[in-house]
Chain A
């Protein structure tokens, strides 16, 4: 990742040109690594928990969120000098809602199965705090290139957290990953028995518990093992 960034820097020696891509790259990397919306900022929990019952649903939701995030960040950034500060939140919401409507109709046209699986959580992308949060905190203040980079990083950061959670839940709860029976393919020939799925992990209860441990592990990584060893809450 970092080597690619340095290559990009070296490739465009002209002063003005060199700054823009590397800056956008830093925004992208920051959004991806240090500010993961789900695991670090604990935002956008409703769709994260509700649709991560399988990897496929997680991928579908991530694609929809990435699309809306890129669209809204681009438009909000383009209009940032036109929208009066007092009415910026309603304006952002209308922009976001328009992209959500496009995504809603698009998914309905492409795959009925995915549309039914995601259900009410497609229109609810409107109130996903990640998207409004980025419009307010980033796109409303920064040029288009950087806003797109930020949207890309946030969207992919959301996606990998969602796919990871979906993978764990599908594996434990149904014994499969993307429909492939991971446990049975080993257990049936070796032990001669089938994996018994722990259904609780597909249900809401399992989602809360697994995400709780994922966030805790991410905290552990960022806090550093030493600091994390002896914790005492006040």
Chain B
């Protein structure tokens, strides 16, 4: 059991990294990583929301969708669940943790349409994970996302000082750098067999 859970973490963080290998969550990845501070804010907010979304998604799937035989509604149900969750987190955070809200608040609305969250919830459902596997997956996926944001934002802060041809500035050079990073991460692919 413990070994299996450790493998899930290793797999989601390094081998099947959502950004670099599964190509999910690319819009925020290109959009907010111009500086380290913003990326870390986004990364923390994503960790928070994915964890809650995957656990509540698991409960909704197990106790609502499957018993009532309405799994074909999963897309509609999960996206509403995530939207409601993000709204709830935002409200609770603003009332109870103003400091945290100040740091993460502006990233929260963006997360509803971040495909990492919906992707994680749907993959958990597709793979028929148990409860503990779901919790582990819900931590591993956003930590992998955080790692990718961390690396690319540091690289981009360096790139800002480099002399880059005008057409390549911004999104193109970020995409090319990400490609090289993805090549490097392919080195991890032997670690876990999925």
Interface residues of A (CB under 8 A from B): 42-46, 49-50, 89-90, 93-94, 97-98, 100-101, 104-105, 120, 123-124, 126-129, 132, 200, 203-209, 211-213, 215-217, 219-220, 223, 227-234
Nearest-neighbour CB distance to chain A for B191, whole angstroms, equals 17
A-B contact pairs, 28 of them (CB 8 A): A43-B27, A50-B23, A89-B112, A90-B83, A93-B80, A97-B76, A105-B72, A120-B123, A127-B79, A127-B112, A127-B115, A127-B118, A129-B113, A204-B22, A204-B182, A205-B183, A207-B23, A208-B175, A212-B175, A216-B173, A219-B166, A219-B172, A229-B166, A231-B163, A231-B164, A233-B159, A233-B162, A233-B163
CB distance B172 to A213 under 8 Å? yes
Residue numbers in A under 8 Å from B26 (CB-CB): 45-46, 49
Known: A223-B167, A228-B166, A231-B166. A129 touches B172 (CB 8 A): no
Known: A46-B27, A208-B182. A228 touches B114 (CB 8 A): no
CB distance B176 to A209 under 8 Å? yes
Nearest-neighbour CB distance to chain A for B122, whole angstroms, equals 6
Residue numbers in B under 8 Å from A205 (CB-CB): 179-180, 182-183, 186
Known: A100-B75, A205-B186, A208-B182. A42 touches B30 (CB 8 A): yes
* B contact patch SS: helix
Known: A120-B126, A127-B118, A231-B165. A209 touches B175 (CB 8 A): yes
Nearest-neighbour CB distance to chain A for B72, whole angstroms, equals 7
Residue numbers in B under 8 Å from A123 (CB-CB): 74-75, 118, 122
Q: Give the bracket for the number of chain B residues in contact with chain A.
A: 35 or more
Residue of A nearest to B166 (CB): A231
CB distance B83 to A93 under 8 Å? yes
Report the Cα distance A227→B161, complex, angstroms: 20
Residue of A nearest to B121 (CB): A123
Within 8 A of A (CB), among B52-96: 72-76, 79-80, 83
Residue of B nearest to A97 (CB): B76
* B192 proximal to A (CB < 8 A): no
Nearest-neighbour CB distance to chain A for B76, whole angstroms, equals 4
CB distance B75 to A97 under 8 Å? yes
Residue numbers in A under 8 Å from B113 (CB-CB): 127, 129, 132
Residue of B nearest to A215 (CB): B172
Please name 7 further chain A to chain B contacts, defined as beta carbons within 8 Å, in addition to the given A124-B122, A128-B115, sorted by A numbering: A101-B72, A120-B126, A127-B79, A200-B183, A207-B23, A230-B166, A233-B163
Per-position contact with A for B1-37: 1 when CB-CB < 8 Å, else 0? 0000000000000000000111111110010000000
